[in-house]
Amino acid sequence: MSKITIEGGRRLSGELAIHGAKNAVLPILAGTLLTGRSVIHNCPALSDVTAACNILTYLGCAAHREGGSIVIESDALTCCDIPDGLMREMRSSVVFLGAVIARCGSARVSLPGGCELGPRPIDLHLSSLRKLGVEILEDHGYLNCSVPEQLRGASISLPFPSVGATENIILAACMAKGDTVISNAAREPEIEDLASFLKTAGADIHIKENGTIYISGVEKLHPVEYSVIPDRIEAATYLCCAAITGGEIRLRDVIPEHLTSVYPVLEEAGCTVQTDQSSIRLTSLERPRPIRMVRTMPYPGFPTDAQSPLMALSSIASGTSVYVENIFESRYKHAGELARMGARIKVEGRVAVVEGVDKLHGATVVCTDLRGGASLCTAALAAQGVSEITHIHHIERGYQDFEKNLSSLGAVVKRI
């Protein structure tokens, strides 16, 4: 099993280009089931993207990579079920449900279980699909979905702006009969990207400022060529990596406004952030300052995915920072591993109190989940001595060329 070693204490400095967004490309790949032929540019090379392509291939599509692009031919599907093994490869495979139902009028997929972040219910996905006319029966861990008549537009109000549920509704509704209105929909940039991919293919979707989404079903979508937005979480992670070493970094190929909620927090930690149209420049203090309170929220609030790398930064701050996690139940598993490096973090339910220490020290630590793994690497960059980070398959789900990028900024990092 591979692992990463990082010798801490090097000040990072330099420039990086950010890849396409994992969380945008996955629902878009599901959406290619509806368009015939798609060419998707700016696709990051990640294990989750490979898992999505494996699902497309299993369903009968031809999917192949050409550099940073993936070409998908989805004219001839051979089945509408996704077996348990493929569903488990990637938690977010549930986003294929809406697309398969829209394409085939039925679907059989295994129920996604819990994951590293705690239980991951899909009740909002299922109740919304039922409103669109889908009959869903649970059978020995599988969901059997069928559409007795035709998918029909509906008015759906989400009690929580779930990203995955919003994506499933959009995918199922864009070819339904009639109009769909989603109130309290998720407003993450990845939702807008899915909508603009589908609109390029001929869908009729309008997103209002207040988060309401209007969809008028169309009969057919057409082949499409589309480029995925940059990954705001990859960008936030590298900002934290540079900041924890007292370094400076310029990130290219980003949409700076997608990280608006992250800048004030980094500035409170003592960083200076400057943006222009497509880049972010960060310079940082030798030692970060504490952050009074970080509350994770649905977009445009502070992203839960950036909480873990930021916590590494707070672990060496000159005071105490408080975190409140409002999205996932178990999103502090990295805290125990950070403690092995000398961090002082007390977790009580949704709250974590991080008392900054003068120095972290290198240790052997285990990635607990994707962003937790990024947090450990961030901490290791500032720790005295060598850290060994294991279970890095989590990191490979979300960061392309992670070690290469860190090395190019001056980190001493090796994959073994």
- The nearest distance, CB 161 to ligand UD1, in angstroms, is 7
User: Applying CB under 6 A, does 122 fall inside the site for ligand UD1?
Assistant: yes
C-alpha 194/C-alpha 98 separation (Å) is 13
42 closest CA partner among 283, 230, 310:
230
- In the bound state with ligand UD1, the residue whose beta carbon lies nearer, of 154 and 363, is 154
- The nearest distance, CB 99 to ligand UD1, in angstroms, is 14
User: Applying CB under 6 A, does 164 fall inside the site for ligand UD1?
Assistant: yes
Residue 115 annotated in active site: yes
1 closest CA partner among 366, 371, 383:
366
Which segment (160-168, 277-285, 350-358, 379-387) binds ligand UD1 by CB under 6 A? 160-168
Footprint (CB under 6 A) of ligand UD1, residues 262-321:
304-305
The DSSP output letter for 298 is S
| Residue selected from 165, 198, 312, 316 as contacting ligand UD1 according to rule CB under 6 A | 165
Query: In the sheet where 344-348 sits, what is the strand order?
Result: 293-295, 320-324, 351-355, 344-348
SS3 of 380-396: HHHCECEEEEECCHHHH
Q: Which residue is nearest to ligand UD1 (CB)?
A: 164
Total Cβ atoms within 10 A of residue 175: 21
User: Applying CB under 6 A, does 44 fall inside the site for ligand UD1?
Assistant: no
C-alpha 277/C-alpha 170 separation (Å) is 29
- The nearest distance, CB 140 to ligand UD1, in angstroms, is 21
> Which segments of 296-372 are extended strands (E)?
320-324, 344-348, 351-355, 364-366
User: Applying CB under 6 A, does 328 fall inside the site for ligand UD1?
Assistant: yes
CA 273 from chain centre, in angstroms, equals 23
| Residue selected from 40, 107, 124, 280 as contacting ligand UD1 according to rule CB under 6 A | 124
| Residue selected from 32, 35, 93, 162 as contacting ligand UD1 according to rule CB under 6 A | 162
Check if the beta carbon of residue 83 is closer than 8 Å to that of residue 76: no
Of 115, 145, 241, 271, which one is the catalytic site residue?
A: 115
Which segment (49-57, 120-128, 306-314, 340-348) binds ligand UD1 by CB under 6 A? 120-128
Count residues contacting ligand UD1 (CB under 6 A)?
20
Which segment (144-152, 156-164, 221-229, 379-387) binds ligand UD1 by CB under 6 A? 156-164
Helices (H), 223-369: 232-244, 263-268, 304-314, 333-340
User: Applying CB under 6 A, does 391 fall inside the site for ligand UD1?
Assistant: no
C-alpha 25/C-alpha 6 separation (Å) is 30
C-alpha 404/C-alpha 411 separation (Å) is 9
| Interior angle at CA 102, CA 174 and CA 79, nearest 5 | 155
Footprint (CB under 6 A) of ligand UD1, residues 335-374:
none
User: Applying CB under 6 A, does 29 fall inside the site for ligand UD1?
Assistant: no
User: Applying CB under 6 A, does 120 fall inside the site for ligand UD1?
Assistant: yes
β-strands 344-348, 135-139 pairing: unpaired
- In the bound state with ligand UD1, the residue whose beta carbon lies nearer, of 124 and 354, is 124
- The nearest distance, CB 89 to ligand UD1, in angstroms, is 13
DSSP bridge partners of 37? 73
C-alpha 215/C-alpha 201 separation (Å) is 14
Footprint (CB under 6 A) of ligand UD1, residues 88-117:
92
| Residue selected from 79, 160, 222, 408 as contacting ligand UD1 according to rule CB under 6 A | 160
User: Applying CB under 6 A, does 217 fall inside the site for ligand UD1?
Assistant: no
What are the counts of helices (DSSP H) followed by strands (DSSP E) for the chain?
14, 24
Q: Which residues are the active-site residues? A: 115
Binding site for ligand UD1 (CB under 6 A): 23, 26, 92, 120-125, 160, 162-165, 186, 190, 304-305, 327-328
